[in-house]
């Protein structure tokens, strides 16, 4: 199950072209028997995610949760400790229900100030380390500074980089996968 915000929901993209759709195709082509459930919600925050994750886990009963939240919190200047606590609560809930977690980190543009952007960035790595979960340090790795990789809003990645995002996720996800029947 992918549990994220607009970046994982495929905001502004033609249906079937987002990295989550590409993930399902890759799993199938590489003979992994997983069904990807996209429980991402455009505009979601870690508070919203914390409030809805229990229901999503009960419905989907996932083996693995790719947790991609926090960017909207950061863009709103939310308290980093609150973001971290919400992510930790979601990770704990996933584990309680027997799901492995892959935490997907995000970074903020420099106009938020170096102190805040660094605290935000390091929240993901420190959380992954303290809770011992796998981490994708930065989903937009390798193209975040390339304006041509984004839609006209300058925030949401366009179709041309969705496969790069999948490749970034895949590096950490693949060791978590099993070829056993699911």
Choosing from 114, 147, 152, 153, which is the catalytic residue? 153
Q: Confirm whether 156 is a catalytic residue.
A: yes
Choosing from 6, 40, 44, 73, which is the catalytic residue? 6
Q: Which of helix, strand or coil describes residue 161?
A: helix
Residue 67, φ and ψ in degrees, nearest 5 = -100, 110
Q: Where are the beta strands (DSSP E) in 22-167?
A: 64-68, 100-104, 134-136
Q: Confirm whether 182 is a catalytic residue.
A: no
Choosing from 63, 134, 156, 167, which is the catalytic residue? 156
Contacts of 47 (CB under 8 A, 6+ apart): 73, 82, 86
d(CA 145, CA 98): 37
Task: Compute and round to an integer the Cα radius of gyration of the chain.
Answer: 15
Q: Confirm whether 40 is a catalytic residue.
A: no
In this structure, what token pair is assigned to residue 116? 């805040």
Q: What positions carry a catalytic annotation? A: 6, 153, 156
């Amino acid at each position: 199950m992918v549990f994220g915000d607009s970046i994982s929901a495929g905001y502004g993209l033609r249906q079937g072209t987002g990295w989550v759709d590409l993930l399902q195709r890759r799993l199938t082509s590489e003979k992994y028997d997983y069904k990807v459930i996209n429980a991402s919600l455009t505009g979601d925050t870690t508070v919203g995610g914390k409030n809805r994750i229990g229901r999503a886990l009960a419905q989907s009963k996932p083996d693995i949760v790719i947790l991609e939240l926090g960017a909207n919190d950061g863009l709103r200047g939310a308290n980093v400790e609150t973001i971290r606590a919400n992510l930790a609560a979601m990770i704990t809930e996933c584990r309680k229900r027997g799901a492995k977690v892959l935490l997907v980190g995000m970074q903020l543009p420099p106009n938020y100030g170096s102190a805040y952007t660094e605290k935000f960035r390091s929240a993901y790595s420190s959380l992954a380390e303290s809770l011992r979960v796998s981490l994708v340090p930065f989903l937009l790795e390798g193209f975040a500074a390339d304006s041509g990789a984004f839609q006209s809003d300058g925030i949401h990645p366009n179709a041309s980089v969705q496969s790069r995002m999948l490749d970034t996720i895949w590096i950490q996800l693949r060791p978590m996968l099993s070829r056993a029947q699911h």
